[in-house]
Amino acid sequence: MSDTTPRFPRQPVLFCDFDGTITLSDNIVAVMKHFNPPGWENIVKDILSETKSIQQGVGEMFQLFPSSMKEEVTSYILNNAGIRAGFPELLDWCKRNDVPFYVTSGGIDFFIYPLLEPFGIPADHIYCNGSDFSGENITITWPHSCDEECDHGGCGMCKTAVIRRFPTDRYYRILIGDSVTDFAGAKLVDLVYSRSHLTDKCQELGLPHIPFDTFHDIIRHLEQGGRSE
């Protein structure tokens, strides 16, 4: 370790959301807005107000699409998603500092894997939902759904289950995110880098958080030891 290595209270580990965090906007919302299948807006409203679980809502939204639209939906996302500035630099920073980086996403494999492909993140460091195009309509699958210890429930991809694999006495747990899929995880971690709805939620609940715009902001803060105050 050199003198320039930032000092953390414990081994840091990063859990980073995908939609609206690594990408500039939420890809699921973008697809719904673009193709506008009847009924999607009420489902999003219910998810954001937490009256419908994320798992149920996301499942219902994709059921609005016939499986035959797979190529169309996929290419719409791949052609329109932008990556937030500083993302490759943050991955480099993590490598240089031996900080594990996990993508913890409530999004879907068919667009996440292709969009992350250029960045060389190992597959076992990417947690997201799955998809099945073999039926009439697009069906979302849930390979990482809630464990018994999740008191939130219906997460779809359960971020708290992933976070709990890194015990708090050994790890300085850091979550990066922007919205409703991050709410449950934000309550568990030592520090949140937040945008958008997640900043409001952290303020409301008094959770330690640092609002950010680009990943460069996060690198700068990590360089100073990533303290919450």
Using CB under 5 A, list all residues that contact Mg ion: 17, 19-20, 178-179
The β-bridge relationship of strands 171-177 and 191-194 is: parallel
Minimum separation from the CB atom of position 229 to Zn ion (A): 28
**Span 85-124, contacts to Zn ion by CB under 5 A:** none
- Report the first-to-last Cα separation within the chain, whole angstroms: 25
Q: Which is nearer to Mg ion, 13 or 198 (CB)?
A: 198
The distance of closest approach from Cβ of residue 17 to Mg ion in the complex, given in angstroms and rounded to an integer, is 4
**Rounded to the nearest whole angstrom, what is the least distance from the CB of residue 186 to Mg ion in the complex?**
12
Q: How far is the CB of 196 from Mg ion (least distance, A)?
A: 8
Q: Dig out the tokens for 219 from the structure.
A: 């690198």
Q: Which segments of 78-168 are extended strands (E)? A: 101-108, 126-132, 139-141
Contact 129, 144 (CB under 8 A): yes
158 lies in the binding site for Zn ion (CB under 5 A): yes
d(CA 186, CA 188): 5
Torsion angle defined by CA atoms of residues 149, 152, 154 and 158, in that order, rounded to the nearest 10 degrees: -60
- CA–CA dist 116, 114 (Å, integer): 6
Q: In whole angstroms, what is the distance from residue 186 CA to residue 136 CA?
A: 36
Token pair 């996990």 is found at: 102
Nearest CB to Mg ion, comparing residues 17 and 190: 17
Number of residues in contact with Zn ion under rule CB under 5 A: 5
Among 29, 64, 126, 150, interactor with Zn ion by CB under 5 A: 150
18 vs 215 by CB, closer to Zn ion: 18
Residue nearest to Mg ion (CB): 20
Binding segment for Zn ion (CB under 5 A), chosen from 14-22, 90-98, 117-125, 139-147, is 139-147
Nearer to Mg ion, 24 or 91 (CB): 24
Closest-CA residue to 126 (of 44, 12, 16, 213)? 16
Residue 19 interacts, among Zn ion, Mg ion, none and using kind-specific CB cut-offs from 5 to 8 Å, with: Mg ion
Position 146 contacts Zn ion (CB under 5 A): yes
Binding site for Zn ion (CB under 5 A): 146, 150, 152, 155, 158
